[in-house]
């Protein structure tokens, strides 16, 4: 017997001993027993808190499908056939939404004050309309102008306010509901500290003492120790630009006066949000408005000017924080009247600062469908997934037909594909290659 054979036999013997040591016992797992005094005997039923259960010992019945080409390939085509049409319908619904978006961030910096209307750069305007009505003019004219006016809030001192006036053309009739949004970018309402800076009990009307307003930090109390109402970062940073109702300028009858398209703030908040607010029980003299509300309440709160958060739907809309830094919030709506195609003007009291954090703000007038507003992303995602599944299904089907693979073929096992050098490296010869 050669030296190589002796070495091989010794290794085989060691492996045989290790296999015997590692062989599992065929005895069933022992059960924890419990003594029942009333019956005077022990029972094999596991007691409460025992780890010997089917769930903990992974003895639950399970089913695992065997994935074969005949079962997998049809799934690709089924998913593709289902997803692609759904995506097409979503894209069609999004295309039916008509809207116009005007970025007025730079109205104060790019337009001289008290001048005539000027052309808005095209990069600040985007629109999507089905087409132009036969009785309408498809004149893509967008103008803006900046003026200033004195605004008096709650009987206080008049405040000089910048007003940005926008003129735009609606080339098609907009059927109700017609919605007016404001859109902000780069505003992170989803920041953890920002989201937590609120006291829901205070908004429900409870007169919370100062020690319980810690969640609103750093805007819980003023330097004199009086609580802010409403407290917190969300309420303090409320969007305070105000929009006038759109005014129709070029009426077909040139002798007729301008017509105001009336919109309302009623119905812009969710009913679930309205239930979160109630009249406050605070004494107006013992609370203070948030710092950014100072111009609106220069003489602090009184019994006459105390805001009614229960009916202030614009405030309720703002308090529902957005999950992404770019978002739109509903400001006004008209659910009954058609917005006729024409030139319109909207005056905006330009108060909210976005340049301090590098954001933008825009006016959006839009319609909606059963799927909501204009957002093609979901439709594109469905079409993409459906297309990918169909392409993969086709490729795998062709591959299976040209070069099929036998199910359970042991020749694909890794140890059947080892090179002869493996035996030399391990000192164990492969079957059929016994060492001399």
- What per-residue confidence (pLDDT) applies to 287? 95
- What per-residue confidence (pLDDT) applies to 14? 47
**Is 350 buried (19+), middle (13-18) or exposed (0-12) by CB count in 10 A?**
buried
**Is 396 buried (19+), middle (13-18) or exposed (0-12) by CB count in 10 A?**
middle
The pLDDT > 70 percentage for the chain reads 81
Listed in sequence order, the residues at least 6 apart from 365 whose beta carbon sits closer than 8 Å to its beta carbon are 99, 100, 170, 174, 178, 179, 180, 181, 246, 339
Joined tokens for residue 372: 């909501």
DSSP percent split of the chain into helix, strand, coil, nearest 5: 30, 20, 50
Predicted TM-score (pTM) of the model is 0.77
- What per-residue confidence (pLDDT) applies to 260? 95
pLDDT value at 312 more than 50 = yes
pLDDT top residue among 277 and 62: 277
- What per-residue confidence (pLDDT) applies to 269? 97
Q: Are 218 and 235 in contact (CB under 8 A)?
A: no
pLDDT value at 262 more than 50 = yes
356-383, pLDDT tens digit by residue?
999 999 999 999 998 899 999 999 999 9
**Is 113 buried (19+), middle (13-18) or exposed (0-12) by CB count in 10 A?**
exposed
Joined tokens for residue 381: 């995602």
In whole angstroms, what is the distance from residue 105 CA to residue 112 CA?
14
Nearest-10 Cα torsion for 391, 397, 403, 407: 120
Listed in sequence order, the residues at least 6 apart from 380 whose beta carbon sits closer than 8 Å to its beta carbon are 87, 91
Per-residue pLDDT band for 236 (boundaries 50, 70, 90) equals: very high
Per-residue pLDDT band for 134 (boundaries 50, 70, 90) equals: low
Q: Are 186 and 257 in contact (CB under 8 A)?
A: no
Per-residue pLDDT band for 285 (boundaries 50, 70, 90) equals: very high
In whole angstroms, what is the distance from residue 273 CA to residue 253 CA?
44
Q: Are 405 and 70 in contact (CB under 8 A)?
A: no
- Integer CA distances (angstroms), 395 to 81, 190, 265, 402, 407, in order: 16, 43, 55, 11, 19
Buried b (16+ CB within 10 A) or exposed e, 412-434: eeeeeeeeeeebeeeeebeeeee
* Mean pLDDT score of the chain: 85
Q: Smallest Cα–Cα separation from 268: which of 319, 210, 323, 201?
A: 319
**Is 435 buried (19+), middle (13-18) or exposed (0-12) by CB count in 10 A?**
middle
pLDDT value at 3 more than 50 = no
- Give ∠ CA 298-303-305 in degrees, rounded to 5: 45
In whole angstroms, what is the distance from residue 301 CA to residue 229 CA?
10
Per-residue pLDDT band for 418 (boundaries 50, 70, 90) equals: low
Q: Compute the radius of gyration of the chain from its Cα atoms.
A: 36
- What per-residue confidence (pLDDT) applies to 45? 57
In whole angstroms, what is the distance from residue 434 CA to residue 431 CA?
7
Average pLDDT over residues 219-233: 94
71-130, pLDDT tens digit by residue?
999 999 999 999 999 999 999 999 999 999 999 999 988 988 777 899 999 999 999 998
Q: Smallest Cα–Cα separation from 349: which of 296, 409, 402?
A: 296
Listed in sequence order, the residues at least 6 apart from 139 whose beta carbon sits closer than 8 Å to its beta carbon are 169, 171
Beta bridge partners of 267: none
In whole angstroms, what is the distance from residue 17 CA to residue 395 CA?
50
Average pLDDT over residues 396-419: 80
317-341, pLDDT tens digit by residue?
999 999 999 999 999 999 999 999 9
- What per-residue confidence (pLDDT) applies to 153? 87
pLDDT top residue among 301 and 2: 301
192-216, pLDDT tens digit by residue?
999 999 999 999 999 999 988 989 9
């Amino acid at each position: 017997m050669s030296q190589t054979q002796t070495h091989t036999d010794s290794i085989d013997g060691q492996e045989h001993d290790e296999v015997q040591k590692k062989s599992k016992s065929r005895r069933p797992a022992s059960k924890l027993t419990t003594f029942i005094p009333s019956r005077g005997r022990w029972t094999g039923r596991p007691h409460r808190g025992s780890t010997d259960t089917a769930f903990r010992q992974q003895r639950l019945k399970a089913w695992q499908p065997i994935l074969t080409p005949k079962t997998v390939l049809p799934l690709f085509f089924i998913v593709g056939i289902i997803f692609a049409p759904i995506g097409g319908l979503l894209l069609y619904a999004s295309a039916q939404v008509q809207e116009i978006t005007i970025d007025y961030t730079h109205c104060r910096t790019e337009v001289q004050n008290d001048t005539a209307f000027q052309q808005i750069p095209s990069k600040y305007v985007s629109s999507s309309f089905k087409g132009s009505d036969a009785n309408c003019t498809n004149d893509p004219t967008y103008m803006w102008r900046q003026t200033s006016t004195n605004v008096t809030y709650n009987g206080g001192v008049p405040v000089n306010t910048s007003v940005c006036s926008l003129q735009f053309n609606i080339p098609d009739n907009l059927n109700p509901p017609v919605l007016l949004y404001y859109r902000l970018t780069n505003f992170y309402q989803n920041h953890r500290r920002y989201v937590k800076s609120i006291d829901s009990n205070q908004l429900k009307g409870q007169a919370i003492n100062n020690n319980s307003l810690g969640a609103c930090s750093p805007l819980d109390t003023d330097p004199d120790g009086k609580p802010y109402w409403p407290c917190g970062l969300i309420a303090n940073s409320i969007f305070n630009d105000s929009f006038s109702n759109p005014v129709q300028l070029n009426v077909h009858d040139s002798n007729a006066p301008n017509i105001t398209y009336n919109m309302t703030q009623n119905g812009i908040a969710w009913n679930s949000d309205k239930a979160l607010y109630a009249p406050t029980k605070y004494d107006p003299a013992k609370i203070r408005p948030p710092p950014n509300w100072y111009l609106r309440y220069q003489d602090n709160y009184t019994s006459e000017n105390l805001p009614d958060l229960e009916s202030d739907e614009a405030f309720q809309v703002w308090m529902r924080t957005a999950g992404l830094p770019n978002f739109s919030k509903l400001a006004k709506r008209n659910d009954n009247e058609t917005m006729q195609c024409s030139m319109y003007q909207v005056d905006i009291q330009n108060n909210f600062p976005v340049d301090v954090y590098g954001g933008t703000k825009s006016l959006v007038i839009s319609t909606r469908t059963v799927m909501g507003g204009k957002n093609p992303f979901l439709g594109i995602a469905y079409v993409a997934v459906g297309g990918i599944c169909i392409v993969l299904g086709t490729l795998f089907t062709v591959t299976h037909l040209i070069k099929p693979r036998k199910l359970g073929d042991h020749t694909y096992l890794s140890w059947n594909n080892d090179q002869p050098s493996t035996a030399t490296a391990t000192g164990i010869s492969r079957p059929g290659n016994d060492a001399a």
